[in-house]
Structure 1
Amino acid sequence: MKLKPLFVTKPDKSVILIRFLVGIVFFAEGLQKFIYPELRGAGRFESIGIPFPEFSGYLVGGLEVVCGLLVLAGFITRFAVIPLIAIMITALFTTKLPILLGTGFWGFALRDLEHYGFLSMMHESRNDLAMLIGSIFLWIKGGGRWSVDIHLFSR
């Protein structure tokens, strides 16, 4: 199997908008897991029931920083978004599914909200869903016209 098709991207100019949004948000979120570990990293992970919160917080933060920068540069874009997709699916499962169900499960805690159910879950999920869909878009499209990928692999 040839790997080049996984790196090749079409010269789509609009991809830069999604790449910038996804890259900068993940980069900033990852940095915060190191700067404010009690709020965004290990402390948060422990409060929602993520196993090995110290390790998980730094692992997720590191992946968000590195992959966010790769996405911003448009370098190995399709590979860079795979961990980001996994992070967002995990975030939705561990923090938003309890809101839908109105109860914690499998050790994942339920946040204290005024309302639970579908509408509350959708409201609380808006950023996670946007990052998930943006990452899936980049996995499908690649880095686009203004990316390192197009210069290295599309010739």
Structure 2
Amino acid sequence: MFDRVKDVALLLGRIGVAVVFFAHGLQKWDSGVGATAGMFDKIGIPLPTFAAIFVIVLEVLGSIAFVAGFLLPLITLGYVIDMVGALVSVHGANGLTGDGGYELVLVLGLAALALGLNGGRLSLDHVLFWRRREARLASTREFETA
């Protein structure tokens, strides 16, 4: 019973984090790669066009994958890189709270890290990769105890 509750909680957490990333990605998408790259260039992010494309794809398509629980470690790595970049280049100088503070960036990055490294059984990663591994380990244990 508790495992099911935990899996649902992990799914709801992934949905919550992904919705916020998705919304920010759509803002960048609506602005366009050029405008996003221009903003990135203005604040000193290296390779601004590449960074803009990376962030837009990550925040839009990566968020869909994050909800589905697909390639979670890879999406998590992207989210963490995204949030470290936002903290260092934009929000860090504003302090933790207040206008432009880094509290949201910090929470999103750490929540993505926690949820992305343990997606639970309600994830495509579990269905595609972990379930087979667990079955293989269980059969190995049965063989060893026999």
TM-score w.r.t. length of structure 2: 0.72
Question: Do residues 80 (structure 1) and 80 (structure 2) align?
Answer: no
Say whether the 8 Å CA contact 1:30–1:61 is kept in structure 2: yes
Question: Do residues 153 (structure 1) and 133 (structure 2) align?
Answer: no
Instruction: Tell me how far apart the structure 2 counterparts of residues 79 and 55 of structure 1 sit (CA, whole Å).
Output: 18
The CA RMSD over aligned residues, in Å, is: 2.2
Q: Once the 2 structures are TM-superposed, how far is the Cα of residue 66 of structure 1 from its aligned partner?
A: 2.2
The corresponding residue for 1:68 is 63
The corresponding residue for 1:122 is 96
CA deviations on 1:70-114 (whole Å, 9 max, x unpaired) are: 101111212221111111011111112333xxxxxxxxxxxxxxx
Q: 1:98 to 1:20 in 2, by over 3 A?
A: same
The structure where helix makes up a greater share of residues is 2
Gaps of 5+ in 2: 1-5, 132-146
Return the index of the structure with the highest Cα Rg.
2
Q: 1:58 to 1:38 in 2, by over 3 A?
A: closer
Report how many aligned residue pairs link the two structures. 123
SS at match of 1:149: helix
Q: Once the 2 structures are TM-superposed, how far is the Cα of residue 63 of structure 1 from its aligned partner?
A: 1.9
Gaps of 5+ in 1: 1-10, 100-120
Instruction: Tell me how far apart the structure 1 counterparts of residues 33 and 71 of structure 2 sit (CA, whole Å).
Output: 32
Percentage of matched positions with identical amino acids: 33
Match of 1:133 among 110, 125, 143: 110
TM-score w.r.t. length of structure 1: 0.69
Say whether the 8 Å CA contact 1:31–1:61 is kept in structure 2: yes
Larger relative contact order, structure 1 or 2 (CA cutoff 8 Å, min sep 6): 1
Instruction: Tell me how far apart the structure 1 counterparts of residues 34 and 126 of structure 2 sit (CA, whole Å).
Output: 38
CA deviations on 1:18-71 (whole Å, 9 max, x unpaired) are: 100121222222222121148972232133222333332122111222221110
